[in-house]
């Protein structure tokens, strides 16, 4: 089956604009931290609120996506994400800031399961490649978020966050105007694909073989470990360079964006690599590489800092798209749920990691955060060895 490139372009661009709000939040918090005298723990709690609302609740949206036609969530989610983050600069208290992050996260949660489901249908037979294109949109948006937040705030002060509402509002209107283009050629593909596989699960959410359930749980845990590294770096890399090393916010934003833009390139490489060498092998290689690169980062300085940040971003985020497809292949009758678990719950649990790392920073200092962080990919590597390989998946 051929790709629906127009639908993929719309969904990928919408993914980028929606995830810009998530990428912007850590930098906005770096500006707001002295205003509200926030502790590192409080910064971690705001990131936790953002990730609980944007990600942990995504499986709920995924289940609804499997049962009901809710394509309208695509433009609505994009709009709500922009509304929430635009209010952060107008917050007058910690509670208001907390609620703004929460609202923005709900918009992100609404967008992802439905958009990733239709991405799967639009990808034809090249599912890993199509999901990589969709994922790179989100990674690009996440990477652009810090730069845009820094730019908007430098031009208009904290009130410059209103620009996100204009950006997301325009994208939401574009998505709404093109919903038929996103869905019209994909409904029949979905029906044929699902009818061929009804014997796998009997049509129920939990009617899967025990081995499949174990594999899904393992995959979720691996993605959680990756997310603890990913969000930990996004959150505490700028804090480390601004608060501890006394570098400028612009330098911190640049490093964060280097990390995230490298991740976008890694995502583009990860999908085709998984199609060729298998999901499991790429995940194992990624986790092993992250361990080595984080260790080298601990002792880097000068020119090597941005180089290692780039390589870490490439390695960490390279498996982003392929883990979504991996989950969808395992839960082939519940694509929305699989998307919610991989794009939502597992990634959103990164907020738990940031809260823990915030506690570490408050008690032992920001440098210790990066020492503790090495433990996460080590755990992820060990669990990756127990994931099903290509031969086992084909046998199932």
pLDDT of 202 over the 80 cut: no
Categorize the per-residue pLDDT at 80 as very low, low, confident or very high, splitting at 50, 70 and 90.
very high
Domain interval for residue 236: 5-391
More confident residue, 265 or 162: 162
- Whole-angstrom distance, CA of residue 347 vs CA of residue 255: 21
> pLDDT tens digits, residue range 325-365?
888 888 877 777 887 788 777 776 776 888 888 889 889 98
| Domain-embedded: residue 71 | yes
What radius of gyration, in Å, describes the C-alpha atoms of the chain? 20
Task: State the average pLDDT for the chain.
Answer: 83
- Whole-angstrom distance, CA of residue 329 vs CA of residue 335: 8
pLDDT at 194: 45
pLDDT of 50 over the 80 cut: yes
Beta carbons within 10 angstroms of residue 126's beta carbon: 16
| Domain-embedded: residue 310 | yes
pLDDT at 312: 95
| Domain-embedded: residue 304 | yes
Q: How much of the chain, in percent, has pLDDT values that exceed 90?
A: 34
> pLDDT tens digits, residue range 118-134?
887 877 766 777 787 88
Q: How many domains does the chain have?
A: 1
- Whole-angstrom distance, CA of residue 155 vs CA of residue 164: 14
Categorize the per-residue pLDDT at 201 as very low, low, confident or very high, splitting at 50, 70 and 90.
very low
pLDDT at 191: 44
pLDDT of 71 over the 80 cut: yes
Highest mean pLDDT among 3-17, 27-41, 172-186: 3-17
| Domain-embedded: residue 396 | no
- Whole-angstrom distance, CA of residue 47 vs CA of residue 235: 8
| Domain-embedded: residue 176 | yes
pLDDT of 225 over the 70 cut: yes
CATH code of the domain covering residue 121: 1.20.1250.20
| Domain-embedded: residue 128 | yes
SS3 label, residue 350:
helix
């Amino acid at each position: 089956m051929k790709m629906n490139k127009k639908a993929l372009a719309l969904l990928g661009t919408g993914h980028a604009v929606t995830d810009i709000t998530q990428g912007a939040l850590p930098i906005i918090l770096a500006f707001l931290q002295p205003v509200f005298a926030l502790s590192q723990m409080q910064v971690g709690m705001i990131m936790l609120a953002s990730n609980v609302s944007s990600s942990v609740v995504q499986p709920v949206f995924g289940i609804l996506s499997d049962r009901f036609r809710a394509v309208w969530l695509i433009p609505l989610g994009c709009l709500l994400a922009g509304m929430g983050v635009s209010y952060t600069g107008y917050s007058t208290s910690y509670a208001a800031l907390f609620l703004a992050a929460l609202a923005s996260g709900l918009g992100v949660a609404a967008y992802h399961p439905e958009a990733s489901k239709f991405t799967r249908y639009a990808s034809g037979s090249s599912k890993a490649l199509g999901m990589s294109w969709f994922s790179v949109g989100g990674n690009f948006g996440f990477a652009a978020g810090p730069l845009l937040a820094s730019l908007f705030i430098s031009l208009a002060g904290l009130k410059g966050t209103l620009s996100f509402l204009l950006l997301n509002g325009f994208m939401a209107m574009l998505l709404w105007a093109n919903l038929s283009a996103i869905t019209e050629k994909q409904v029949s593909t979905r029906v044929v694909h699902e009818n061929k596989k009804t014997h796998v699960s009997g049509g129920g959410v939990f009617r899967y073989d025990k081995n499949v359930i174990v594999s899904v749980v393992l995959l979720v845990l691996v993605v959680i470990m990756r997310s603890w590294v990913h969000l930990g770096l996004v959150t505490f890399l700028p804090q480390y360079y601004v608060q501890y090393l006394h570098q400028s916010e612009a330098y911190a934003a640049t490093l964060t964006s280097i990390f995230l833009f490298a991740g976008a390139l890694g995502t583009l490489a990860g999908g085709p690599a998984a199609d060729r060498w298998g999901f499991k092998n790429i995940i194992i290689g990624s986790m092993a590489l992250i361990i080595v690169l984080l260790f080298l980062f601990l002792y880097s300085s000068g020119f090597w800092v941005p180089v290692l940040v780039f390589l870490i971003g490439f390695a960490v985020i390279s498996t982003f798209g392929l883990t979504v497809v991996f989950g969808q292949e395992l839960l082939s009758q519940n694509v929305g749920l699989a998307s919610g678990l991989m794009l939502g719950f597992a990634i959103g649990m990164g907020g738990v990691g940031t809260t823990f790392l915030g506690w570490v920073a408050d008690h032992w200092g920001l440098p210790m955060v990066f020492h503790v962080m090495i433990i996460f990919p080590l755990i992820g590597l060990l669990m990756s060895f127990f994931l099903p390989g290509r031969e086992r998946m084909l046998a199932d």
